[in-house]
Amino acid sequence: MKKPFFCPNSYYSSIYDIDLENLISLGIKGLIIDLDNTIIPHKIFIVSEEVSSWFKNLKEMGFNVCVLSNNQAYKVKKISDKLQVPFIYNAIKPLTWSFRKAIKMLGLDKRNVAIIGDQIFTDVLGGKLFGIFTILVKPMNPHEHWWTRKLRIIERKLLRKFISEGNL
Ligand SMILES: [Mg+2]
């Protein structure tokens, strides 16, 4: 069944709940991962042990990974360096140029790459416009920019609709 346009392919409570074996069975070999509120709370600059081991596990499972963030260089570089993954900052998601750059970085074809992020209107929309598998996770922290909080109201309505219609 074809999902509605803004509906992600999958939806999880957190990155830790993502069924990685299932991604492998779908042919996914590369992951483009959002930073803020997906792997690290908004305004936090410390990488938790939990996140570090999750990234370590991704690499051990054979995934090529990169971080794709709309945030600025300082935080994105600091966190990605800790996790030892390549990164793109100031990505301006949902614009797709940065997704193109990301799959080049991963050295993979679109068909084998998924985006993981916490926002429908940046991560999921960008992934859909670019044409890759999209995974939405719940945001880690409710403290966000005022414009993000406004978008969350629409996001929550959409999610309720997708869930009630059996699309998620
Ligand atoms: Mg985010």
C-alpha 60 to ligand 1 mean position (Å): 25
Tell me: the pLDDT tens digits for 102-125? 999 999 999 999 999 999 999 999
Q: Measure CA of the first residue to CA of the last residue in the chain; give whole Å.
A: 12
C-alpha 45 to ligand 1 mean position (Å): 14
C-alpha 21 to ligand 1 mean position (Å): 24
Name residues of the chain where pLDDT drops below 70: 1
For residue 1, the model assigns a pLDDT of 67
Fold annotation for 10-164: Rossmann fold (3.40.50)
SS3 84: coil
Ion ligand 1 residues within 5 Å by Cβ: 34, 36-38, 118
> Could you state, in order of their start, the residue ranges of all structural domains in the chain?
10-164
> How much of the chain is helix, strand and coil, in % rounded to 5?
45, 15, 40
C-alpha 40 to ligand 1 mean position (Å): 9
C-alpha 6 to ligand 1 mean position (Å): 16
- Report how far residue 28's alpha carbon sits from residue 157's, in angstroms, rounded to the nearest whole number: 29
Q: Are 34 and 135 in contact (CB under 8 A)?
A: no
Mean residue pLDDT across the chain: 95
> Could you tell me which of 160, 95, 89, 100 has the C-alpha nearest to residue 121?
95
